[in-house]
Structure 1
C-alpha cells in the first residue's frame, strides 16, 4: 500500500513538471551545510513549522501564503494573536492543509506528497528526528527536497543565511537583502553603544516561559535569549551552568546568583495550558492583566529575596522573539532595561512599529512587553 502511494505521488509530481517549465534548477546550501538542488523560484512550498510564516511574511508581505500548500499546525497555538491578525487579512490561510510534527513522528509523508510540493522547508532542530524516521529518504524517493533553515537554535548565526536562502528560493533576493540590512543596522545601534561605553553588566536571569508550568525554571544557556542578554550588555546567570541553548536552573542556583534583572518570556498559551500563570504579552495584549501575572511570578521560591524583585527590575517580553527574525527588537528592549541611561534615546517600540510598516503583512499593535518598573 505504502509503495503504491509513493508511486502515485511520484506520478503526480511528474505531471506537475509542465507547470514549472520556467523554473531554473539551482543548488543551494542550507543551514545544515547540505547542498540541495531545487527548481526556483519555488511554486509550491510546505512549511515544516507554521511560524516560518514570519520569514515568508517579510519577503512577500502582499501574498505570504501564495506558495504555501501545507504547514505544521503550531502557529495558531503558539502565537494565537498574530495568527488571528494574519487570518483576518488572509482568510485563505485557514484552508491550507495542516500537518503534525516531524520531531514527534506525526508527519504524514503521503499527505505531503499528494500536495506536490517543490520543497519542504524544515527547521534545523527537526533534522535528527527527520532522519531517524527516514522522512528524508521517503521524500527523496518522491523527488521532494528538504531545505533546512533555523531561527531558533542559533538565531544570531542562522537567521541571516536562512532569510537569504528563502529569498533565493522564492526569487525575492532583493527583499531579503533589504530586511537583512535593516536588522543589522538595528543591532548595530546597541552593539556600538555597548562597545564604546563598556558598562558594568547586570546579572540577568531569563525565565523562559515563566508560569507555563509549576516547574522552575527553564532558561537559556549561551544561545538564543542567552546571547541576546550578552549583546544587550548583561551577564546571563545560566551561562556556564546550561551548556547548550535550552536548559533549566533550579531555585537554589537562581537565589545564589542573585540576578539584578529578570526577564520572563511570555505569550498567550491557552491552547497548551488553559488559564496558566504564563504572562500574556503579544500584539493587543491586556498589559494590566499581564502585569498582574508578572507580579505573581515574583512570589515563587526561586525569586525569594533576589535583587531584581527588590528593585522592580522584573520584566516580561514576547516569547516568540526567540523564534522569529525579529530578534533585534528584543535586544534593543533588553538593552534599554539593563542600561536605561545609555539607551535613553533608543525606542524599541518605534523599531517594532517601523518593522511592521516596512516589511510585515499585518499592522503593528502594541503589547509585546511589560515591566514592574512601568516602562
Structure 2
C-alpha cells in the first residue's frame, strides 16, 4: 500500500497527496479534504481545531497531538493528562472563537471542519486561513454524517502517521454500522418504532428527521415522530406538549438527566405510550455524548446503543457491554470498569 508520501491526488477519496515539487525537509505539501494544497510541518506535534467534531477526531486518532478543547470533556471518563488541556473555544453553534487566542498557542496546524455545501464551505476555510496567518489550516470533511465517518478518520490517520489507530477505529465503526443497517433494513415502514428525541430540562425541544442532530433515529430503523421545522445550526426546535401527545411516541430518548428523572411521574406525560410502557431511556454520556451534541464520531457508540434500545429482540445477540468497553479503549483511550458500564446502560 502506498504511504502518505508519493500518493497521487485522488479527488474522489480526498486523498492526501505529495505534490510534484519536493518540499523542504522540515515541511511537506498535502492536499486536504477540500482539495486545497497546504504546506504543513513534516512532523505535526500540536493541533487546535475550530469546532468540536474535528477536535474529537484529532483526540481519538492522536490524543497527544491535541493542544486544547473547544469545550471540556466529561470528568471521570477522560484521562487526567488530557482533561488538563486548556479550553480554547472555537467557531460552532452560537460560539465565536478568538483568533488571537488560537495564534498565541502556536499550533503546528489548525483543523477546520467543513460541510459539503459547495463554494460556501471553501470560502469559509479560505477566510479561516487568512485570519490564522502563517499557521496552516487543514480542511477536514465535517463528521456530521453518521454513515460517512471512515473517510475523515482515515485522512487524519494518514496526516498524522497514525494509520494503525485510524484503521482500528474504522474497523469498529464499520462493524457496528454494517450490523445495524443490515438488520433494520428489513423492518417494514409500518412496523418501525415511533421515537421522540426529548431535549432540554422539560423535554420540549427536539430535532426532526433530516436534522443531523437526530440522524441515529433514522439510521437505526426508528421513525422520528417529530413533525416540526428544522432549526438551523444548533437545532433544538421548540414544541408543545399538545404536539407530543398527538405524536404519541413508542420510545422517548432523553438527553437531559433532569427530564429523565421526572418524566415518568410528571402528570403531563402520563398518557404518552412510551411513558406508560416504560420505554423512556436516558442517552448515555461519558467523555462525550453518545447520540448528539456534537454530531461527530462520538456517536459511533450511539449506533449500537440506539439500535438495541429501539429493537431489543432484533439485537438480542449484540453484546453491548463488550462494545462499550472496546469503544472507550480504542476511541477515548480509557478503560471502564464493569460497574461503570452497567451504570451507563442501566441508569
The match for 2:44 among 42, 62, 68 is: 42
Deviations 1:126-160 (A, max 9, x none): x98x9599544221x32432424523x43333x32
Matches of 1:144 and 1:160, distance apart in 2: 24
Gaps of 5+ in 1: 1-19, 267-277, 280-292
The TM-score normalised by the length of structure 2 is 0.74
The 1:71–1:196 alpha-carbon spacing in structure 2 relative to 1, beyond 3 Å, is closer
Q: What is the CA-CA distance between 1:363 and the residue it aligns to? A: 1.0
Instruction: Kindly report which structure 2 residues correspond to 1:130-279, keeping only aligned pairs within 5 A, or say none.
Output: 131=124, 135-139=128-132, 141-151=133-143, 153-157=144-148, 159-196=149-186, 198=188, 200-208=191-199, 210-211=200-201, 214=202, 216-224=204-212, 226-238=214-226, 241-242=229-230, 246-248=235-237, 249-266=239-256, 278-279=257-258
Deviations 1:239-289 (A, max 9, x none): 6643768342332221111101101124xxxxxxxxxxx34xxxxxxxxxx
The question of whether the paired residues in 2 share the 8 Å contact of 1:44 and 1:69 is answered with: yes
The 1:114–1:335 alpha-carbon spacing in structure 2 relative to 1, beyond 3 Å, is closer
Higher helix residue share: 1
Give the corresponding residue for 1:353.
325
The match for 1:86 among 79, 86, 90 is: 79
The 1:173–1:23 alpha-carbon spacing in structure 2 relative to 1, beyond 3 Å, is farther
The 1:168–1:258 alpha-carbon spacing in structure 2 relative to 1, beyond 3 Å, is same
Secondary structure (helix, strand or coil) at the match of 1:368 reads helix
Q: What is the CA-CA distance between 1:299 and the residue it aligns to? A: 4.8
Runs of 4+ residues deviating >6 angstroms: none
Deviations 1:105-133 (A, max 9, x none): 653323322333221123448x98x9599
Q: What is the CA-CA distance between 1:328 and the residue it aligns to? A: 3.5
The TM-score normalised by the length of structure 1 is 0.69
Q: CA RMSD in A?
A: 3.3
The question of whether the paired residues in 2 share the 8 Å contact of 1:222 and 1:244 is answered with: no
State whether structure 2 residue 91 is matched by structure 1 residue 75: no
Secondary structure (helix, strand or coil) at the match of 2:48 reads strand
User: Structure 1 stretch 197-206 or stretch 227-236: which is displaced more?
Assistant: 197-206
Matches of 1:110 and 1:57, distance apart in 2: 23
Instruction: Kindly report which structure 2 residues correspond to 1:13-28, keeping only aligned pairs within 5 A, or say none.
Output: 21-28=25-32
User: Structure 1 stretch 43-52 or stretch 160-169: which is displaced more?
Assistant: 43-52
Deviations 1:6-63 (A, max 9, x none): xxxxxxxxxxxxxx9344221121xxx3524132442321133467554334323xxx
Give the corresponding residue for 2:58.
56
The question of whether the paired residues in 2 share the 8 Å contact of 1:187 and 1:331 is answered with: yes
